[in-house]
Structure 1
Amino acid sequence: LSERDGWRHVYRVSRDGKAVRLVTPGAFDVIEVAAVDEPGGWLYYVASPDNATQRYLYRSRLDGRGKPERVSPGEQPGTHDYDISPDARWAWHTYSTFDTPSLTDLVRLPSHATVRTLAANDRLHAAVAPLTARPGEFFRVTLPDSATLDGWMIRPRDFDSTKTYPLLMYVYGEPAGQTVLDRWAGRTGLWHRMLADQGYVVASVDNRGTPAPRGRVWRKVVHDAIGVLSSREQADAVRALTRSRHYLDSTRVAIWGWSGGGSSTLQAMFRYPDVYRVGMSVAPVPDERLYDTIYQERYMGLPQENAAGYDTASAINHAEGLRGRLLLVHGSGDDNVHYQGSERLLNRLISLGKPVDFMEYPNRSHCICEGRGTTLHVFSLLTRYLLEHLPAGPRTRDGRGV
């Protein structure tokens, strides 16, 4: 895989490195190599040339001749995941959309004919059907610098466009993951739909620097400055949405995220206090110097060579900007994002005289999922905090509750 032409493509290279042939031509990214059918002369890979929120199986000739062929069914827009057999004749295929739970079947390649349905998830489909009666909306938002971001939005099932609603933004915002995907989001997605039915509009956007298949420049623009561009683009997206959609109340905006999303939540609350009233940060990295080198130095360079960049990118150094309500949540046994970062942030906020609400989950890891009742406790905590500090429900245009 190489991004030498601005897109992530597969190249066939001779052993001496002198002969290089492009196998996957086109203005798109190869998201993942799925299989190599050497006897048949085909490369199977995942891509989505026309929509960065979706995933499809394609194949190209190993000699680079001809055009890429889409293998995934054209009548199934959404996300397709594959586990392909070594001979590239069979595959476990899982399909879902933002509003449709996953279905898994065994398919024959390259025809994609279904051999057997393995998991139809009929009971789950029936159970969630009422929750998805109002489908989620995918949109694009244009920022002041003309950058265009993908996003999704969930509105209450009893949504009234003549009223105004509080907005909850779900964020990740870092190079390790996308939030704007046309796939079933499981537990977190169901929680978002529950909140929407309480009277919130829930939305998410992918800023530049996230791993969306939108080219090399899109992904690498944040190099040496994690958290800076992303927080600005997230805030600009909120401003653009509340200006263009009259049913969103710009004075009632909250943001939440986990891990890198927890870090992005801190950046949002500290850097843009005029935009966000409430933030819920779970397992964040407040100080960029405290995270593991394989991730941090890949995007930020060496601390001794980019000291100013590490200082600027660390949310802890902007804590004086906090004005809204902040909930900080962390497991004390987190072996991924170490607990010491949150303790350091707490001491910084205390020294600044900034109010903060904090919940430690004893000896829980990064998922905060160990122990009976833990997951329910975490999401109940987040729900109560949001309802208390940014009450749900629509208001009339003059600001009165209904």
Structure 2
Amino acid sequence: MYKYLFFTCVFLTFLSLSAKAQNDNSLITLEEIYEKETYRQKSFGPVRWMKDNRGYSTLEDNPEYGEKDIVRYSVPDGDRRVLVSAEQLIPEGGDTPLKIADYEWSHDNEKLLIFTNTRRVWRYHTRGDYWVLDIQSGELMQLGKSVERTTMKFAKFSPDDSRVAYVSKRNIYVEHLDTGQIRQITHDGGDDIINGTFDWVYEEELSLRDGFRWSPDGQHIAYWQSNTQGVGTFYMINNIDSVYSQPIPLPYPKVGTTNPAVKIGVVAADGGQPRWFDIPGDPRNNYLARMDFVPNTNQVMIQQLNRLQNRNRVWIADILTMEFENIMTERDDAFLDIHDDTIWMDDNQYFTWTSERDGWRHLYKISKDGSDAKLITRGEFDIVNVVQIDKENNYVYYIATKEDYTERYLYRSSLSGNEDPERITPAASEGQHAYQMTANSKWAIHTYQNRNTPNRISLISLPDHRKVRVLEGNEELKQKVDALNINYKEFFRIDIGEVILDAWMMKPVNFDPGKKYPVIFYVYGEPAGSTVQNNWGGRRDLFHYYLAQQGYIVISVDNRGTKVPRGRAWRKSIYGQIGILATHDQAKAAKAIFDRYSYVDSSRVGMWGWSGGGQMTLNCLFKYPDIYHTGIALAFVSDQRLYDTIYQERYMGLPSENEEGYHDGSPINFAENLEGNLMIMHGTADDNVHYQSFEMLVDELIKHDKYFSMMSYPMRTHSISERPNTSLHLRKSMVRYWKNNLPAGGK
């Protein structure tokens, strides 16, 4: 009876707050965030720098036709010229322009390749239709007229712009633009064989989607071929779109099982018999993680990771002789990351290479035979990513941070490696910066953001970093959010004894330090990401500000092993102990926070996370029930043996060699320790972290007579965002659970 009255009061309070929010513009509503998109951030572009380095093209609305014009702006004067109007993109016999999803200029800027009518493949819209516009004649030509609509992927011009190659239904085609002749140059694609693109695991974990390359002379195409025969098939079930359920088969290699066999071949651009590189090593226990042509040669550079991903063998292979040579081998005691920072220099006698061999992520200049390696970016700091290598002026521009791991700034170093790094970003602009630079490094599209500043996109000159004009300031969004009754997140550091961790805190409105408030920890904790960054957090931060307005303190802590530029030792510390070291760090951080901040109520502690963060939430609740009392875990891995080979084995090794680590890092093995309140949520069509993980945990909790709440979202994927009202419904369900199980407000 009393429990019923308590929850009734809580619910009525929630309704009262919700009603007040409808009439108080200073309070956030979930509908504004997830339904009305009141706080949506505006973007700019996509931008394509023109090859003369004196202007850029972008997309702008055409009010008459309702689609986009492609417009050129000159730098620095800003002269505007419509290069391609929406009217020019109306197919013959039609009345509606093509909707531009993406576009690419030909090498001579005389033709335009347009990607339209797109469809999603796993994460991204990578298949659809392609058209080519001849700028001089105005002719608009649809490609692939003899192939099935919306099946084309990764179309790109040949080096002489006379042809376009693309993938359709697991085979590669070449189309002549002057005649419209289409030649299919691979013929064995289908079922288990994939040409020119990839299966699920290569796409998800190695970021490989576009799987073919034109040779510099346009005579050949080098490509990946995947054979998924022998890979275990996971079945998702669609129960809601027809009377009878529909199984959805997905070849998906789970930890310790058979991988796809992948090889690299070469075929003439006008067709013929493919030839294959006989790279040593079992193709199912090695990964061909990168392949690109050495400029102006018949050679490709191939990067081959072993299954444990702690060795990267770099090969130079000749597409004419099919001979190859191992020029360099990178090794690490833990794991290696693949980088895309390879640029050839000095008449192809040297190339740039990113490595952590000295304990920090740096750029090196390495000779083609691998015998000579020289450090370019010197110092005890990590480069986050390379922005531009300016060979003419002998500089590399890169993003890094030297003092604060939550921030990102532009630096440059001499390619000679003889000078100290020079910071280009002005010192006063605290936060994170990104740059899209011209080839000659004189101009850049600069994006600036921080915790209370949405993306501010400007044209700047370099290296003086002078702002020429603002392209998108998001001023209206900034004003809307500044007008809200919120306390912007505060960054702090917490010492847990072994290490000092970065964290942030959001405080409730009308915060009173003399009271004690419930705390909700937001967590990720795995090597693929970081939650403690001084950037504009978008809808995620707004959701947390909403929780703070309800009377919660929200905190996030980056434990060891997260994707933070703190050196190799930080990132590799988690090797072999996913879910173990991070859980330890999070628990110690929570206790240290309780000791430091008297206004944090250690009797009302919650945690939530998504994906790896869902796994972390479960581990913390099950292993430290004295600390964490309420948790919401979304789209989680309950047993690490259920996840894919490339990701899980990269950080944990093989299960046969790390049985204890796999057991101790998997929350399902500690489910019997649940004492507090637990809500679990999952999409049944999650192709990434399968609904199986959810069901197995449910079964284990039932076995141990543990009581919990659960919410399944039918035919939603890992993002749990598809179909009407999903995002709003999910957050409302979360808030209701917090309100009912972790009472809000200061005491």
Same structural fold, with TM-score higher than 0.5 when normalized by the shorter chain? yes
Match of 1:187 among 536, 539, 542: 539
Match of 2:657 among 281, 305, 308: 305
Map of 1:78 onto structure 2: 431
Q: Give 1:132 deviation, angstroms.
A: 6.8
* Structure 2 residue 716 is matched with structure 1 residue 364: yes
The CA deviation string for residues 174-198 of structure 1, in whole angstroms up to 9 with x for no partner, is 0000000000100010010111111
Map of 1:400 onto structure 2: none
Q: Following superposition of structure 1 onto structure 2, how do residues 141-220 of structure 1 map, counting pairs within 5 Å?
A: 141-143=494-496, 145-220=497-572
Structure 1 or 2: more helix by fraction: 1
Q: Which runs of 5+ in 2 are unaligned?
A: 1-353
* Structure 2 residue 712 is matched with structure 1 residue 387: no
For residues 627 and 467 of structure 2, the distance between their equivalents in structure 1, rounded to whole angstroms, comes to 49
Structure 1 or 2: more strand by fraction: 2
Match of 1:112 among 431, 445, 465: 465
For residues 84 and 246 of structure 1, the distance between their equivalents in structure 2, rounded to whole angstroms, comes to 48
Match of 2:678 among 312, 323, 326: 326
* Structure 2 residue 647 is matched with structure 1 residue 279: no
Q: Give 1:292 deviation, angstroms.
A: 1.4
Map of 2:476 onto structure 1: 123
For residues 231 and 172 of structure 1, the distance between their equivalents in structure 2, rounded to whole angstroms, comes to 11
Map of 1:140 onto structure 2: 493
Map of 1:399 onto structure 2: none
Map of 1:49 onto structure 2: 402
Q: In structure 2, give the amino acid aligned to 1:364.
A: R
Match of 1:346 among 687, 693, 698: 698
Q: Following superposition of structure 1 onto structure 2, how do residues 235-254 of structure 1 map, counting pairs within 5 Å?
A: 235-254=587-606
Q: Give 1:91 deviation, angstroms.
A: 2.0
For residues 667 and 522 of structure 2, the distance between their equivalents in structure 1, rounded to whole angstroms, comes to 18
Kept in 2, the 8 Å contact 1:328–1:358? The answer is yes
Map of 2:379 onto structure 1: 26
Q: Give 1:88 deviation, angstroms.
A: 2.4
Kept in 2, the 8 Å contact 1:331–1:360? The answer is yes
Map of 1:398 onto structure 2: none
The alignment partner of 1:10 has SS state of strand
Kept in 2, the 8 Å contact 1:228–1:313? The answer is yes
For residues 690 and 468 of structure 2, the distance between their equivalents in structure 1, rounded to whole angstroms, comes to 46
For residues 133 and 301 of structure 1, the distance between their equivalents in structure 2, rounded to whole angstroms, comes to 44
Kept in 1, the 8 Å contact 2:486–2:508? The answer is no
Q: Give 1:314 deviation, angstroms.
A: 0.9
- Between 230-239 and 104-113, the greater mean CA deviation after superposition: 104-113
Kept in 2, the 8 Å contact 1:330–1:360? The answer is yes
Q: In structure 2, give the amino acid aligned to 1:342.
A: F
Q: Which runs of 5+ in 1 are unaligned?
A: 396-402
* Structure 2 residue 553 is matched with structure 1 residue 231: no
- Between 374-383 and 132-141, the greater mean CA deviation after superposition: 132-141
- Between 129-138 and 356-365, the greater mean CA deviation after superposition: 129-138
Kept in 2, the 8 Å contact 1:14–1:20? The answer is yes
The CA deviation string for residues 252-307 of structure 1, in whole angstroms up to 9 with x for no partner, is 00000011111100111111000011000010011111111111111001122222
| Higher relative contact order, structure no. (Cα contacts within 8 Å, ≥ 6 residues apart) | 1
For residues 131 and 202 of structure 1, the distance between their equivalents in structure 2, rounded to whole angstroms, comes to 17
Q: In structure 2, give the amino acid aligned to 1:40.
A: N
* Structure 2 residue 621 is matched with structure 1 residue 269: yes
For residues 436 and 711 of structure 2, the distance between their equivalents in structure 1, rounded to whole angstroms, comes to 40
For residues 738 and 437 of structure 2, the distance between their equivalents in structure 1, rounded to whole angstroms, comes to 43
TM-score (norm 1): 0.96
Q: In structure 2, give the amino acid aligned to 1:307.
A: E
Q: In structure 2, give the amino acid aligned to 1:121.
A: N
The alignment partner of 2:549 has SS state of helix
Map of 2:607 onto structure 1: 255
For residues 695 and 704 of structure 2, the distance between their equivalents in structure 1, rounded to whole angstroms, comes to 14
Map of 1:100 onto structure 2: 453
For residues 348 and 226 of structure 1, the distance between their equivalents in structure 2, rounded to whole angstroms, comes to 21
Kept in 2, the 8 Å contact 1:131–1:193? The answer is no
Match of 2:689 among 320, 337, 347: 337
Kept in 2, the 8 Å contact 1:99–1:132? The answer is no
Q: Give 1:35 deviation, angstroms.
A: 1.1
For residues 379 and 133 of structure 1, the distance between their equivalents in structure 2, rounded to whole angstroms, comes to 19
Percent identity over the alignment is: 49
For residues 133 and 325 of structure 1, the distance between their equivalents in structure 2, rounded to whole angstroms, comes to 28
The CA deviation string for residues 37-82 of structure 1, in whole angstroms up to 9 with x for no partner, is 1111111111001000111111100110111111112110001122
Match of 1:35 among 382, 388, 394: 388
Map of 2:418 onto structure 1: 65
Q: In structure 2, give the amino acid aligned to 1:294.
A: I
- Between 247-256 and 67-76, the greater mean CA deviation after superposition: 67-76
- Between 347-356 and 106-115, the greater mean CA deviation after superposition: 106-115
* Structure 2 residue 447 is matched with structure 1 residue 88: no
Match of 2:730 among 349, 370, 378: 378
The CA deviation string for residues 152-183 of structure 1, in whole angstroms up to 9 with x for no partner, is 00101210011000011000000000000000
For residues 132 and 32 of structure 1, the distance between their equivalents in structure 2, rounded to whole angstroms, comes to 36
For residues 463 and 711 of structure 2, the distance between their equivalents in structure 1, rounded to whole angstroms, comes to 51
For residues 680 and 554 of structure 2, the distance between their equivalents in structure 1, rounded to whole angstroms, comes to 20
Rg (Cα) greater in structure: 2
For residues 212 and 51 of structure 1, the distance between their equivalents in structure 2, rounded to whole angstroms, comes to 10
For residues 361 and 351 of structure 1, the distance between their equivalents in structure 2, rounded to whole angstroms, comes to 24
Q: Give 1:133 deviation, angstroms.
A: 5.3
CA RMSD of aligned residues (A): 1.1
- Between 132-141 and 341-350, the greater mean CA deviation after superposition: 132-141
